[in-house]
A and B are shown apart, each in its own frame.
Chain A
Amino acid sequence: MTPNLTVSPSFPTERISDWYIFNTWLQRALGLPIHLELYDSFGAQRAAIAEGKVDMIYANPFDASLLVREKGFRAVVQPEGQPDEMLIIAAAEGPASAITALRPGTRLACSDDPCVNTVGRILLEPANLDPSNTIEHRRETYIQVAREVLRGEADIGFLPVDAFNALSSLVRRDLQVLVTSQLHVIHHVFLVGPALHERADEITTLLASMHESEKGRRILEALGARHWEPVQREDVEFMIDIISTLTQ
């Protein structure tokens, strides 16, 4: 059986080819054929997980907690020093200037990224805004979220910090950031499923030393990381506890 690898759809689209290069490196390093399947939405990826079609995944913190607690996945490494943060944008010339100035009826554009949306909702709580008194526009991509805010079709938008930074300077100039999350404690992790548990230690060692070769370092840089660091089980359990406080 060829194991399947997938990546949380939250990564910038220009990194698609870099993930294929990463997969080629991983296959060679492990001596194992691996099929990389990239899904264009969180819903499609979750359906694949539910059908048992995922054996390895670079997952956002919310999906990681589901995979560890309910699917028996094991977190092996995380990118060093890269907590997941998000921000809430508004049009630079728009009426919204602060979160607490937002009123019921606020139109918000967002993707289907569960991590970004959960944290974004928390950051709206100081304005007493929740799903019952806001109008949510779900969009396929982060670019579409930004575009909707720029066109005035939404008052605010939820974006991961990476996606905002990947926007062109022209687009960013016409946007303002109302708030940026500073959670510091949740991050993407690389997980292996039960079918690969017996190779989990080997995969951890391989990925944790990936930056030591010139080629490995170049691949990591292309993916926006410096190196992988091993994850202890308790680190992941702590992150899951934190996520459970955010999702109630």
Chain B
Amino acid sequence: MKDMEPAQVSGKTSEHVLTYADGSRRRVFVTLVETPYPHGKLIVSRTDPLGIITQCNPSFVDMSGYTEAEIIGQPHCILRHPDMPAAAFRDLWDTVKAGRQWNGYVKNLRKDGGYYWVYATVVPNIRDGQIVGFTSVRREPSREKVIAAEAHYRSLNGS
């Protein structure tokens, strides 16, 4: 995955280097600008078994800030925000690879360095007994739940 370019991001930014589960690294620039979750919408995407995005709906495109052409074929962790603890994603992958559903509050990183909060549900796509991919549906979280998740993730990150 390509590093973010500073030119993609405007305003005051902080720089981070993320290390993913496969050991790869990516430099990202983040801002404190939150994009509010649009009322009534669901963000839907599918990945292959390796987490590569194969399909998404217009809400996914709008909220991520990428075009559909830019996002299809990318690993889902392109949306990973540095404030999200690695343990949360480890739990997600362990759960869905075991064939179970995962739910949780997630702070996602936009292409422009901003962020948005979602309540995410991920299910394995099981066909003829085999996991052929994963479907994720995100919906609007309440502010109270976001505040609680932020505090929890800060404690997990030790900050």
Contact = CB atoms under 8 A, between A and B. Distances in A.
Question: Which size class do B's interface residues fall under?
Answer: 20 to 34
Interface residues of A, number: 23
Contact of A242 (B59, B137, B143): B137
Contacts of A241: 123, 125, 135
A183 B139 CA distance: 10
A238 B39 contact: no
A32 interface: no
Interface string A187-222: 000000000000000000000000000000000000
A245 B101 contact: yes
Given A184-B58, A238-B135, A248-B101, A128 B144 contact: yes
Given A182-B40, A182-B59, A245 B142 contact: no
A99 B142 CA distance: 11
B57 interface: yes
A99 B39 CA distance: 9
Interface stretch (A8-16, A118-126, A166-174): A118-126
B103 interface: yes
Interface string A96-134: 000110000000000000000000001101111000000
A128 B142 contact: yes
Given A185-B57, A246-B137, A180 B40 contact: yes
Contacts of B142: 125-128
B121 interface: yes
Interface string B126-140: 010000000111011
Given A125-B140, A184-B57, A184-B58, A245 B40 contact: no
A23 interface: no
B42 A182 contact: yes
Contacts of A80: none
Interface string B27-60: 0000000000111111010100000000001110
A237 B119 CA distance: 23
Contacts of B44: 183-185, 242
A182 B41 contact: yes
Contacts of B123: 241, 244-245
B65 interface: no
Interface string A223-248: 00000000000000110011011101
Contacts of B41: 181-183
A128 B40 CA distance: 15
B75 interface: no
A248 B137 CA distance: 12
Contacts of B39: 99, 123, 126, 179
Contacts of B145: 128
Interface in B110-159: 119, 121-123, 125, 127, 135-137, 139-145
A113 B143 CA distance: 29
8 contacts: A123-B39, A125-B139, A126-B142, A128-B145, A182-B40, A182-B59, A183-B44, A242-B137
Interface of B: 37-42, 44, 46, 57-59, 101, 103, 119, 121-123, 125, 127, 135-137, 139-145
